[in-house]
Every structure is written in structure tokens, then in C-alpha cells.
Amino acid sequence: MKLQLALDVLSLEDALALTRAAEEWVDRVELGTPFLLEYGMEAVRRFRAEFPYKELLADTKIMDAGRLEAESAFQAGADLVTVLAVTDLSTVRACVEAAEAWGRRVVADMICVADLEGRARRLKEAGVHGIAVHTGVDQQLQGRTPLSDLSVLRRAVERAEVSAAGGIGLSTLPEYCAQRPDVLIVGGAIASAPDPAAEARAIRQAMTRWEEKNL
């Protein structure tokens, strides 16, 4: 399993500093949607320049103009972009075409999708490289978690990277590891910790221990 660090509501300089501190323990850095709304593609360029060998995901949540928006992020240095799974499949395919041209990848964000299993299959047919189970902040406030959705998608999708996001932290880690996602996305649990680097290390080590016992 990979550990993806999600950066959402930090300043650009604080996000860079946090990533420097936690870099050893995370496999991929996500520049979250609020972060991109604040700092744009300049943030992608800054992160690519400072972390040239770290996987970088731009959480663009593309809904239209798929090729244009995906290419903008790829040109800035992103390895992966996200497209909203609820959008038209023509937009998804346009993102995939851009990714293929640049040698990059597309992740479909399943937030607010009703038919998870059916949509995931159609997205895979459209060529996406990954599927992200995502319980949004507003949904989390209503008590929802990604666990049940993750179980459904793990059964439905083969040969596509499956990731999970939505309130994941050290205390809930075993439940998520048991569903065997390819990527666990952790944001606030690391960013808001008194010592973010120590928290990232603890989560990475807990993931490794679980894998050693169960895989």
C-alpha cells in the first residue's frame, strides 16, 4: 500500500515545509482542491521543482474541458490528475487521452456516485488508471465513512489502482488496511498533528506492520 499525503488548507510555504518533514514516509503528495484553488498551477510547479522524484497528484476534480485542464496540470509537473466520476464519459476519455500523450495517469474521484460498481466498470472501460473512494467533508459530518464504498469497489474493479480518502488516521487505519486498498490518503491526521513528521512515520510503520502480518 502507498501512503498519499493530502494537502488542503495550508499556506504554500507551510505545505512545502510539511512535505519536507514527512517526505521520507509518504509515497505520493496530493495538492488538494482547496489548495489548488488558492495557489493554482504555480503550486504544482513549486512542488515539482522541490520534490522532483516524488509522485505528485493534482486534485483537479475535472468536470469539463478534460484535455485542456488535464494538460495544464501535466505541463506544470503533475504525475496524476483527478476527474470527477459523475461527469460525462467523454470528459473522462479526454483526460485519459491527455495522460497518454504525456505519459501520466488519471484517477476518477467517486464522490457522490450512486451506482459505485456500475460506474467504476464504465470508468475502467474509459481508460482511467485509478479509482478513488472519497467520502467528502460534508458527508463525514453526517457520519459517513469510505469503508463500505471501498469494499464494493475492491470487488468490482480489477487492474486499476484503488485509493481511499475521508477522515483516515492512525486509529482507523486497521479497518482500511483490511479492505486492501492500493493507496491510503491521509490529510488532516498528519497536517494537524503536533508533530506531522512523527505522525506520518507512525502511520507508515503501522501500514507496514499490517502488511507484514496479513499479506
Give the pLDDT of residue 185: 94
CB-CB contact of 200 with 22 (8 Å): yes
The pLDDT value given to residue 139: 66
Q: What is the pLDDT of residues 150-172, one digit of tens each?
A: 777 777 777 679 998 777 899 99
Q: Which CATH number fits domain 2-214: 2.60.120.260, 3.40.640.10, 3.20.20.70, 3.40.1790.10?
A: 3.20.20.70
Write the DSSP assignment of 65-82 as a string of letters: -HHHHHHHHHHHT-SEEE
**Close Cβ partners of 175 (under 8 Å, ≥ 6 residues apart):** 147
Q: Which amino acid is at 25?
A: W
Per-residue pLDDT tens over the stretch 25-56: 999 999 999 999 999 999 999 999 999 999 99
Task: Summarize the confidence of residues 56-80 as an average pLDDT.
Answer: 98
Question: 66-76 and 33-50 helices cross at what angle (nearest 10)?
Answer: 40
pLDDT, position 13: 97
Which pLDDT value is given to residue 179?
86
Identify whether the C-beta of residue 12 lies closer than 8 Å to the C-beta of residue 39: yes
Reported as a single tens digit per residue, the pLDDT across 92-149 is 999 999 999 999 999 999 988 989 899 999 999 999 999 998 766 676 566 666 677 7
Longest CA–CA separation in the chain, Å: 45
Domain boundaries, the chain: 2-214
Residue 32 near residue 5 (C-beta atoms within 8 A): no
Using pLDDT thresholds of 50, 70 and 90, give the confidence band for residue 215: confident
Local confidence band at 6 (pLDDT 50, 70, 90 cut-offs): very high
pLDDT tens track for 11-31 = 999 999 999 999 999 999 999
SS3 98: helix
